[in-house]
Chain A
Amino acid sequence: MAKKTKDATYNGNMTKAQWTWLLMKRYKIGYFMIAPFMILFFLFTVIPVVASIFVSLTDYNMLQWPNWVGLNNYITLFLDDDLFIIALKNTLLFAVAVGPASYLLSFCVAWFINELSPKMRAFVTLIFYAPSISGGAYTIFSYIFASDSYGLVNGWLLKFGLIDSPILFFQNTKWVMPLCIAIALWMSLGTAFLSFIAGLQGLDRSQFEAAAVDGITNRWQELWYVTLPNMKSQLRFGAVMAITGSFGFGAVVTALAGNPSVEYCAYTIAHHLEEYGGSRMEVGYASAISFVLFLIMVGANMLVQKLLAKVGE
């Protein structure tokens, strides 16, 4: 970071605004450099999120000029839209089941493989990380859980006489949610996982030696008092990735169980958003849905960051 006083000289009489203006002029090249990215970022990310707050208070439908309807969309959403309540419940269930589990799994695996030799570690990393990058790999599960005796699971269950007729896994309300959760977990060791591996590798070894001298006797104490406090910034980043991953769920369900899934048993907010925003073009109403999702995600992030602040205390 260049010192502020290097080129633009501070003169004792300047107001804060004048000083800022001087800095802005001095470093205007900075604005040119961020402009191309920021213009697109605002256009496709910031403005849509902010605009959806306002649009959610109207009945905009892309055809007619929007009318101001106040909180009506939200009232309908919570009091008069049973599907939304189902979607909300399912989304929260997915997030609560997948988010923390994937976070813990990412950390534990990263921690367990930390002391392996570099080659072995690279190999194990690949095995655990591969499902998350192999794109549509989850469609594999449509044969593994195929609904006839040629499906892997049904075939073997029949063979062993555990069932009499094949289970229709993705058409059965009892199975759809648990399977989708398991599959989401299977592919959830992603960016957070890599970040944890790197964070653990970067820890200063001398701290562990000092801790051993100070009387830390087992790996769990070492984990809580030395390892975790030293990688808080990675833990925060990992949490952000885990939360985004666990709420942005829908594609997996659609690919395996269809949309809508049987009796809407795995219907999520993402599906509801697609229905109203994409198919019915009720943009105002869809914006209300997305704003609710926004609030939930912000809330989840605040909660998790608060919990993480307690680590190592």
Chain B
Amino acid sequence: MTVKTKKLRTRRHTVVLSRSAGGDFGITIFLIILGVIMFLPLYYVVIQSFKPLDELFYYPPKFYVINPTWDNFTSLFTLMSESWVPFSRYIFNTVFITFCGTLGNLVLSSLCAYALSKIPFPGRKFFFQLVEKSLMIGSTVGSIITFIIISWLGLMDNYLAIILPAWSSTLGLYLMKNFMDSNVTTSILESARLDGAGEFRTFWSIAMPMVKPAWLTLIIYSFQGLWNSGASIFIHSEELKTLNYAITQILSAGIVRSGAQAASGVIMMAVPIIVFVVSQSKIIETMGTSGMKD
């Protein structure tokens, strides 16, 4: 694959002479400046998290650390251990919600995407259109009635109030369905069906292995959303609240804790960023089929 791209690249430069040196230079400068702007805030929080107390209050603030220290991280954990509900509980809540929400979303969305993409039942276009339209509207519009429905279902103050809506999040389904449209050919499914495999078997052992990049993308989107979920209007009990919420609460108590706050920022952002680094190529592959048809 890399060899092929290389060849095309060189060919491109000999055949297509539509690149001016000035343009290339301008674009490089633009990218560098913009890249620095994007990167600086994230860099700054990392730097802050390693500054000892006296450097945090240095005037004017420095862009580097003189004596890096883990103090902020240890003080974050000390603060955590002093919290009213054992801190491990918040961690458990976030991990539990993230795991269940993501797993359910993956299973339900894959099943639904497979049926919408590969089984020609009447009405499937309508259902997919609804999914597309829901992407256009976002979650704010229905939030009030969703709140009422969740309280009617008796899901208030229950993990399910967060998990069940996450199961029906539509972006993953949308990406998975489009990916199946262009990566799972009907002829393969037909031959499996002729061999007597049922629809569920075809789905599980033929189609699913072919859409692994889309799984991963769905998992990551779901993970990011749930991992970062903070205070929820559905959860009142302290012992059901999430890590993100707990950290925000602990740290809202003033400037003395700004070092610990930076440390928590580093921990919270490290997880999604590492996950993205590992899975970037698969996500881009999935996004290749994300286009919306007319």
**Which A residues contact B (CB, under 8 angstroms)?**
1-2, 4, 20, 23-24, 27-31, 33-34, 36-38, 40-41, 43-49, 51-52, 55, 62, 105, 109, 112-113, 115, 118, 122, 124-131, 133-137, 139-141, 143-144, 146, 148-152, 155-156, 158-159, 186, 189, 191, 194-195, 197-199, 201-202, 205, 208-209, 211-212, 216-219, 221-222, 231-234, 236-237, 240-241, 243-244, 247-248, 250, 269-270, 273, 277-278, 283, 286-287, 290-291, 293-294, 297-298, 301
**Given known A-B contacts A37-B108, A37-B112, A140-B41, A287 and B17 have beta carbons under 8 A apart:** no
**Chain A residues in 8 Å Cβ range of B261:** 139, 143
Q: In the complex the two chains form, is A122's CB within 8 Å of B280's CB?
A: yes
A-B pairs with beta carbons under 8 Å apart, 20 shown: A2-B120, A27-B121, A28-B121, A29-B199, A30-B120, A33-B111, A37-B108, A37-B112, A48-B144, A130-B39, A134-B42, A135-B227, A136-B268, A139-B261, A140-B45, A140-B262, A158-B59, A197-B287, A234-B291, A290-B142
Stretch binding the partner chain, chosen from B66-74, B79-87, B128-136 = B128-136
Q: Is B31 an interface residue (CB 8 A)?
A: yes
Number of residues from B at the complex interface, CB < 8 A: 109
Q: Is B78 an interface residue (CB 8 A)?
A: no
**Chain A residues in 8 Å Cβ range of B237:** none
Q: In the complex the two chains form, is B60's CB within 8 Å of A44's CB?
A: no
A-B contact count (CB 8 A): 324
Q: Is B116 an interface residue (CB 8 A)?
A: yes
Q: In the complex the two chains form, is A233's CB within 8 Å of B293's CB?
A: yes
Q: How far is the CA of A43 from the CA of B287 in the complex (A)?
A: 28
14 further contact pairs, Cβ within 8 A, besides A40-B165, A127-B38, A273-B140: A20-B122, A27-B120, A33-B199, A36-B108, A134-B273, A143-B45, A143-B258, A144-B44, A148-B255, A199-B288, A208-B12, A240-B292, A244-B137, A287-B145
CB-based closest 7 A-B pairs: A233-B291, A48-B142, A30-B121, A134-B269, A48-B145, A40-B168, A135-B228
Q: In the complex the two chains form, is B269's CB within 8 Å of A241's CB?
A: no
**Given known A-B contacts A47-B145, A277-B144, A140 and B18 have beta carbons under 8 A apart:** no
Q: Is the interface of B mostly helix, strand, loop or mixed?
A: helix
**Chain A residues in 8 Å Cβ range of B165:** 40, 44
**Given known A-B contacts A128-B35, A137-B265, A236-B292, A205 and B108 have beta carbons under 8 A apart:** no
**Chain B residues in 8 Å Cβ range of A248:** 138-140
Q: In the complex the two chains form, is B56's CB within 8 Å of A150's CB?
A: yes
**Chain B residues in 8 Å Cβ range of A52:** 141-142, 144-145
Shortest CB distance B147–A (Å): 7
Shortest CB distance A289–B (Å): 8
Closest to A45 in B: B134
Q: How far is the CA of A216 from the CA of B121 in the complex (A)?
A: 46
Q: When the two chains form the complex, which single residue of B119, B135, B146, B269 contacts A137, counting CB atoms closer than 8 Å?
A: B269
**Chain B residues in 8 Å Cβ range of A287:** 144-145
Q: Is B260 an interface residue (CB 8 A)?
A: no
With most chain B CB atoms within 10 A of its CB, the pick from A27, A217, A278 is A27
Closest to B56 in A: A150
Shortest CB distance A245–B (Å): 8
Q: Is B124 an interface residue (CB 8 A)?
A: yes
Binary per-residue interface labels of chain B (174-187) against chain A in the complex, 1 for a CB within 8 Å, 0 otherwise: 00000000000010
Q: How far is the CA of A313 from the CA of B285 in the complex (A)?
A: 29
Q: In the complex the two chains form, is A209's CB within 8 Å of B143's CB?
A: no
Binary per-residue interface labels of chain B (16-41) against chain A in the complex, 1 for a CB within 8 Å, 0 otherwise: 11111001000100110011011101
Q: Is B222 an interface residue (CB 8 A)?
A: no
**Chain B residues in 8 Å Cβ range of A149:** 59-60
Q: How far is the CA of A86 from the CA of B46 in the complex (A)?
A: 37
**Given known A-B contacts A43-B149, A127-B35, A240 and B134 have beta carbons under 8 A apart:** no
Q: How far is the CA of A231 from the CA of B150 in the complex (A)?
A: 40
Q: In the complex the two chains form, is B115's CB within 8 Å of A125's CB?
A: no
